[in-house]
Amino acid sequence: MSLAEYLQESGFSIVFLRFASGLMLSLMPVETQSDSALRQTAGFPGTDLFTQSAVVRIRIELQQQNLLALREDPRRYVRSTIHSDGKAYRDVGVHLKGSTGSFRGVDDKPGLTLDFGRFNPDQKFHDLRKIHLNNSVEDPSYLNEQIGSELFRAAGVPAPRVSHALVEMNGRPLGLYVLKEGLTEDFLSFYFRRGDGNLYEPERGNDVDGHMKRLLGRDPENGQRRFSALAAAARETDLNRRQQRLEETLDMDRFITFMAVEVMTCHRDGYCVARNNFRLYEDPETKKTLLLPHGMDQLFGNADLPWKPHMAGLVARSVLETPEGRQRYEARFRALFTGVFNAQRLADRVNQIVGDLRPSLRSSEFNGIEQEAAIVRDRILKRELNLKRQLSRPEPAPLDFKDGIACLSGWSKVDEPAGGRMEEAYGPDGIAGLHMVAGPATAASWRTMARLREGHYQFECRG
C-alpha cells in the first residue's frame, strides 16, 4: 500500500490539478472508495517498476577497459550491458555517484547512475531513460529515501519514485540497493505543463546565490539570471516588498509545502536546515523556480527538531521572516501534519516495504534490515508525539525585559556528541550554566527560541 492509498483510507482523496502554475495538490474528504488516490502517478512511465512487490534484479557487465576507466574517472559515463528480467540492454551509460559520505569506488559497493539512452537514444528500462542505484551506506534500513519521497509526493511536491534492486557487477554480487528514478524531461513533464526547462544542482554546496550546474535544459544563461533575481528578492530588506518579489520569482505555494515536509521529516541534510541536497527547476511556463528534494537517506533522526527551526537555506529563512510567509508556513504545516503525516500508517508502510524485501534476501541480511526498520518506525512515532506537543503549545509571549535585561530559558540539546556529554551545571561561582564536552569537530549545540519585539538587541554570554 502506497501513501496515496493509505491517505485515501484515512478519508482523503489526493487530486492533482494542472494549471498554468503547474501541479497543485488538494486534500478532500472522500465519501466512497475509489481509485482516485492512485492517480498521482497513474500512466506515468515506469509505474510497474515501483508498484510490484518483487525486488528487481540487475546484472551489470563492464568490459575491462571500461572498468579501468571508472577507476580513473568515476563520474564519466562508460558503456555497459545490463541484464534484467530476461532482457539485455546494450550500450547503457553508467557512472559512479555519491557524495562525501556515500561515495564508494567501483571495486567496493559503488553508487551508480544508469542512463539507458545515453548512447542509444531510443532505449528505455521499464519506460524510464535513467535510474540511480544508491548504495545506502548512510541508511542501513534502506527505507528513508522511499518514505521521504512518498511523503513529498503525497503533499504535492514532485519527488522521484523509489524501489529496491539486487545488483551484480561482472559476476560479483553487490547486494541490495535503493533504486530511484532519474530526474529526466519525462519526469518533469508529468509534474509541469512543460518539462523542457532547466534543472540545476548546486555545484559546490552553495545556496541559490552561488553557481549552479545545469543537469537538463537548453537555456544555460537564463537560469543563472533567475537565481540571481531570487537571491536578490530573498535579501530585500523591506518585508512587504520582499514578499512581492519572492512571489514573482519563486513557486511560493509549493516551496512552503517543501519547507513543511523537510522539517516534518527532520531532513537534517536538506535545504532548509543544512542548505544541502536540493535541485532547482526553472519552469519555462511560469518563469518561476521550484526546489525539489534530494538525498533523503537520513530522516527522522532528531525527533525534537522545532517545527519552526532556524533555517540555513537563504530562501527558507527569507520566506519565514515575512509575516505572510510565516503565516502560510504555519497553516500549511498544521494541515499537512493532520492530513498527511500519520505515524501509525507510516509505520505500516515501513512494515510493508520490509515484507516485500524478505523473499529476496538471505536471513542474515533481512534480519539486519528488520532491526534497522524497527529504529525507523520508532523515530517516526517519536517525531509525531513531539510535533503534537510542539503544535499544542501556545505561541510564546515576547520576552519580558527588566532594566533592559532578559534571561533566556528553555534550552534544549541538539545533536548530542557521541562519546561526549551535555548537561546543565553550576560553575565555581555558583551560577547555573550550559556545559558541553565534545571532540574537535561537532555539530552539537544548546538552543532555545525567544520572541522579540521589533528593535535592536545585544546577546551576551559568559564562557
Please name the residues in contact with 279: beta carbons below 8 A apart, sequence gap of 6 or more.
183, 199, 200, 201, 215, 291, 292, 294
Which range is least confidently modeled, 2-11, 37-46, 78-87, 395-404? 2-11
Per domain, the residue ranges of the chain are 1-40, 49-191, 194-339, 400-463
Q: Is residue 81 very low, low, confident or very high in pLDDT (cuts 50, 70, 90)? A: very high
Which range is least confidently modeled, 37-41, 120-124, 197-201? 37-41
Helix (H, G, I), strand (E, B) or coil at 14: strand
Q: Mean pLDDT across the stretch 400-412?
A: 84
pLDDT reported for residue 238 = 96
Nearest Cα neighbor of 177 from 365, 371, 345, 375 is 365
pLDDT reported for residue 433 = 85
Q: Mean pLDDT across the stretch 418-428?
A: 83
Q: Is residue 41 very low, low, confident or very high in pLDDT (cuts 50, 70, 90)? A: low
Spatial distance between the Cα atoms of 269 and 274, rounded to a whole number of angstroms: 5
Q: Mean pLDDT across the stretch 20-29?
A: 38
pLDDT at 195 over 80: yes
pLDDT at 105 over 80: yes
Spatial distance between the Cα atoms of 348 and 371, rounded to a whole number of angstroms: 15
pLDDT reported for residue 243 = 97
Q: To which residue does cell 515484507 refer?
A: 355
Q: Mean pLDDT across the stretch 443-461?
A: 81
Please name the residues in contact with 392: beta carbons below 8 A apart, sequence gap of 6 or more.
none
Helices (H), 98-204: 144-155, 185-191
Sheet containing 288-293: give its strands across.
212-216, 198-202, 278-283, 288-293
Please name the residues in contact with 111: beta carbons below 8 A apart, sequence gap of 6 or more.
96, 97, 98, 102, 103, 104, 132, 133, 134, 135
Q: To which residue does cell 551560577 refer?
A: 431
pLDDT at 19 over 50: no
> In which element (H, E) is residue 225 found?
helix 220-234
pLDDT reported for residue 33 = 23
Spatial distance between the Cα atoms of 22 and 294, rounded to a whole number of angstroms: 20
Q: Mean pLDDT across the stretch 403-423?
A: 83
Helices (H), 265-399: 271-274, 314-321, 323-339, 343-357, 363-392
Please write the tens of the pLDDT for every residue from 289-330: 999 999 999 999 999 999 999 999 999 999 999 999 999 999
Mean model confidence pLDDT for the chain: 88
Please write the tens of the pLDDT for every residue from 138-157: 999 999 999 999 999 999 99
pLDDT at 12 over 50: no
pLDDT reported for residue 25 = 41
Global pTM reads 0.84
